[in-house]
Structure 1
Amino acid sequence: MMFWLDHDISGWGWFGMSLGMVAFWALIITVFVLLFRALSPSSSEGTGTTPSLPASRTPEQLLADRFARSEIDEEEYRRRLQILREHEGGPTLTKH
């Protein structure tokens, strides 16, 4: 008989081979999932905790949203709203 047939693998050997095979397939599946996510176009760009805001929002709407979320207090809201309304014409460029 051949030499390698004379030596049986122990229980720990089977355990190690099984664990290695599970780790190997987990790695292969993870790589494919990450490649799929990286290469596929995303339907929503902002996948964080806050949804992405449309570009058509005015500065006053953004300020009102911050006030509604209690990120700023009423005094700061009114002060910033007054500044926004004073500069409604847009920023002016001045040369020095």
Structure 2
Amino acid sequence: MYWYDHGMNGWGFAMMTLNMLLFWGVLAGGGYLLYRWLRRDEPSSGSDSARRLLAERYARGEIDDEEYRRRLETLAGR
């Protein structure tokens, strides 16, 4: 008769493999989230994005000079 004192059976190998995959998955996921967090674009304020949109509309010719200046002054709060 064989006694496997503190030996690892098939379930032990399966759980060890599962835990190792889970460990590396969490480590890789955390690294990916850290990378995304470090590379995120700084959120622009509402005023900056509005000015950028206004400038894009002016560049495309959707609004004329007078309307562009009037809306720009409105955004500036004058």
What TM-score do the two structures reach when normalised by structure 1? 0.41
Of structures 1 and 2, the one scoring higher in RCO (CA 8 A, sep 6+) is: 2
What TM-score do the two structures reach when normalised by structure 2? 0.49
- If each structure's helix is expressed as a fraction of its own residues, which one has the higher value? 2
